Structure formats: structure tokens, C-alpha cells
Amino acid sequence: MDKTDKKVAVFACSGIGKPLGSVAREIGYELTERVRPDKTVLTCLALLVINDPDTRKLITDNPVIAIDGCVKDCAKKSLEANGAKLVRACQSIEFFKKHNDLKPEGIAELNEAGKKLAALAADELAGVVDELLAEEAKND
């Protein structure tokens, strides 16, 4: 990719044990499908577990957002362990603290409050996408 077609790579933890992992996953979808579809690309975090070469290239050539569900920060740590270029990390619990009337429930199927929380979080992350791409353009 040259500087004109760089995108922000988005990775969500998708934790399978807690609703906040599902919120992280939903934030990834909201950000890449609704909020910034032309500026972002969602990729499977699990590909980093197998050192997938295309994914390693993606994260070393492009800025990256890591969306984690809990304090274990699996997405962020996996990206850093694989040499990601520029990682901005967040946790879905941070957004829940700000919008604590939206309590996420359900893992396989997130409740409406969880989906609304994810949509709000993605709206907030839009600015981070724009910032990362602006920094990228300045550095190229």
C-alpha cells in the first residue's frame, strides 16, 4: 500500500468468556462497517497467533487500533508481540464506565444495550482513525 491507500487495521479481542469481549467485537464491526468503512480494515486477531505473514505485513505497514474487552489486553499484547507499527489501544470496559447505563449482556448474542454501547464507542473511535491516518500522512 502507498500512502494514498493506507488504512487503519482494526483488531478486536473477541473474548469468548465475557460480554465485554463481545462488545469489543461489535465495536470492530461498527467502526469498520458503519463509521469508517473506507479508512479501516477488520482482520482476525487469531491470525497473529499463527504468525500469518500477510497479517504481519498489514500491521507493520499500517497504523493499528486494538480493541480489548478486559484488562488482559490480548489484542494489544498480540499486536505488540508481532511488531505492529503504531498501536492505539482501548478497552470496551472504558466505554462502559462512561456509559454505565448501557450494561452489556450476552456473549453469543449481545443485548441491545451492548450493541448501543458498541455503536457509541465506534463513533468515539472515528477521531482516532482520522488522527492515525493524518499522522501516517505526515510521516510518509
Containing 91, the helix (H) or strand (E) segment is: strand 86-91
Q: Taking CB under 8 A as the rule, does residue 43 contact another protein?
A: yes
CA-based diameter of the chain, in Å? Answer: 43
Q: Taking CB under 8 A as the rule, does residue 12 contact another protein?
A: yes
Residue span binding another protein (CB under 8 A) among the ranges 25-33, 95-103, 123-131, 132-140: 25-33
Residue span binding another protein (CB under 8 A) among the ranges 49-57, 85-93, 97-105, 124-132: 49-57
Q: Taking CB under 8 A as the rule, does residue 81 contact another protein?
A: yes
Backbone angles phi, psi at 68, to 5 degrees: -105, 155
Q: Taking CB under 8 A as the rule, does residue 84 contact another protein?
A: no
Q: In this structure, are residues 119 and 105 in contact, taking their beta carbons and an 8 Å threshold?
A: no
Q: Taking CB under 8 A as the rule, does residue 125 contact another protein?
A: no
What single string gives the DSSP state of each residue in 52-77? -HHHHHHHHHSEEEEEESSTT-HHHH
Q: CB nearer to another protein: give 19 or 63.
A: 19
